[in-house]
Amino acid sequence: MPRISVICPTWNRGPAITATLESVRAQTMTDWELFVMSDASDDGTDEVVAELAARDPRITLRRTRRFGFQAGPTNIALKEVSGEIVAYLDHDDVWDPHHLALLTEVFDQGADFAATRARKVDAAGTLLSVADPLTMCWHPELQLMNPLFENSCAAHRTELAEQAGGWRESRVGLEDWDLWLRLTDLGARCTTLLDCTVSMLHDLGTRQHSLPCDHDHEIARFPDARSARAAYRALTHPRHHRAGTEAARADLLDWYGSLAASGELALPRGWQGGRAELDRAVHRHVDNVEPAWNNLIIEPKDGYVALAMVLGTMTPEHAARYSEFFRSRMHHQMGFFTEVLGEASVVRAAGSVTR
């Protein structure tokens, strides 16, 4: 029985999938099995995988009906795997040779769920970016509010997937964020590593860049679209950019600081500098990333028009939890919204609106 089962769902990747599969074959930790789940590919992908499988018995090709998303084929694979640990690999990503060895180390130390860091590359292999170290800090609250790591970075004990109900099968939202949150809700805790072991292809044509989103986080409510458009213009006006950025900075410093002070914040393996470096990492993150609420939409609702932020959640329950936490915890940003939009329109905790 192999130690680790690797699941790689694919659709019409063609010969390019060879680099992905060869990165598994090149692992220094060799006790693995690989299930390549073809989502009814019709471009020769299956033939490429079958040729590799004929040379390496650790590779199994399974062809499924067409789902159109990764969760369906992945759930089928989960019923067949025999390893005590499951690792995931997207068909256009590549692992460094020591990826599985590093994950095995933390599972040997008792981890339920683990993730390494990723770099983004273009089709030519040129480095575009490396995951922010701050995003490798872990706590249940951080998992609730952020997608954190991608499929190809993560692994978990096999039985946890069944306990969580498997991958949610839907075209809407981020299925990895959804599963990681459900693992967390079961009581699983994630161990992260600063080691960068995954090269992720940054391709604007992939599903992650055209993801349907059905849920949102309401910032404010208005009686008509005209009022909502005026609020949108006010909130996104350049004169408010600095104040909004500083509000986000203050909230993150308070949030991460309180988690660190409680002793419950899990810093990634390899982190150096303790709390002082955590504060510096928050400052760097805020300086380099636009506030999440910059992703705004004007959305007609039942009896009002909302100014809202698009969420990549798969369920309305997750979206509601996100909103309740934001409204009750992000005091500086809530104050910023109130200052710009007015007390009467900003949506408060528990969905109430101060009138």
Which residues have CB under 8 Å from 54's CB, separation 6+? none
* Mean pLDDT computed over 170-175: 89
Tokens of 12: 């019409």
Q: Is the dihedral of CA 259, 167, 39, 154 positive or negative?
A: positive
Q: What is the pLDDT of residue 209?
A: 46
Is residue 174 domain-shared with residue 251, that is, in the same domain? no
Q: Domain tally for the chain?
A: 2
What predicted TM-score, i.e. pTM, was given to this entire model?
0.93
Residue 155 pLDDT = 99
- Band of residue 173 on the pLDDT scale cut at 50, 70, 90: confident
Statement to judge: residues 200 and 249 lie in one domain = no
pLDDT of residue 292 exceeding 70, the answer is no
Whether the pLDDT of residue 33 is over 80: the answer is yes
Check whether residue 69 and residue 138 sit in a common domain.
Answer: yes
Better-predicted residue by pLDDT, 189 or 352? 189
Q: Please tell me the predicted confidence (pLDDT) of residue 288.
A: 87
288 shares its domain with 176: no
Is residue 351 pLDDT above 70, yes or no? Answer: no
344 to 68, 189, 248, 347, 352: CA distances (angstroms):
43, 40, 22, 8, 11
CATH number at residue 161: 3.90.550.10
CA-to-CA distance for 8 and 13, rounded, in angstroms?
Answer: 12
Residue 95 confidence (pLDDT) above 50: yes
What's the pLDDT score for residue 17?
98
Cα-Cα-Cα-Cα dihedral sign, residues 165, 169, 170, 175: positive
pLDDT digits (tens, 9 = 90+) for 114-140: 999 999 999 999 999 999 999 999 999
Decide which of 85 and 172 is more confident: 85
Predicted confidence band of residue 354 (pLDDT cuts 50, 70, 90)? very low
Same domain for 187 and 271, yes or no, is: no
Whether residue 110 is found in the same domain as residue 199:
yes
The pLDDT value recorded for residue 172 is 87
Position 89: which residue type? L
Find residue 310's DSSP bridge partners.
216
Is 186 found in the same domain as 150? Answer: yes
Q: What is the mean pLDDT of residues 209-214?
A: 70
pLDDT score of 353 more than 60? no
Percent with pLDDT over 70 in the chain: 95
122/140 same-domain check: yes
> What is the residue-wise DSSP string for 199-254?
EEE--TTSGGGS----EEEEEEEESSHHHHHHHHHHHTSGGGHHHHHHHHHHHHHH
What is the pLDDT of the chain when averaged over all its residues? 94
Would you state the pLDDT for residue 256?
Answer: 97
The string of pLDDT tens digits covering residues 298-350 is: 999 999 999 999 999 999 999 999 999 999 999 999 999 999 999 999 999 87
Q: What pLDDT score does 273 carry?
A: 87
Do both 20 and 121 map to the same domain?
yes
pLDDT tops 60 at residue 210: no
Tell me the DSSP string of 267-336.
Answer: PPBT--SHHHHHHHHHHHHHHHS--GGGSEEEEE-SSSEEEEEEE--SSHHHHHHHHHHHHHH-HHHHHH
> What pLDDT was estimated at residue 207?
46
- Domain encompassing residue 222: 215-351
Mean pLDDT, rounded, for 2-25? 98
Do 10 and 112 belong together in one domain? yes
Among 192, 208, 224, give the residue marking a domain's end.
Answer: 208
Give pLDDT, residue 295. Answer: 83
- Check if the beta carbon of residue 219 is closer than 8 Å to that of residue 244: no
Q: Is the pLDDT of residue 355 over 50?
A: no
Lowest mean pLDDT among 54-68, 169-183, 278-292: 278-292
Question: One-letter amino acid identity for 117?
Answer: R
Which residue among 208, 234, 254 closes a domain?
A: 208
Where does a domain end: 190, 208, 226? 208
Which segment of 49-58, 77-86, 266-275 scores lowest on mean pLDDT? 266-275
Residues 200 and 221 in one domain: no
Q: Please say if the pLDDT value at position 206 is more than 70.
A: no
Q: Do 198 and 233 lie in a common domain?
A: no
Q: Widest CA span of the chain, in angstroms? A: 69
Distance CA 189, CA 180 (A): 10
- Answer whether 189's CB lies under 8 Å from 144's CB: no
pLDDT score at 205: 59
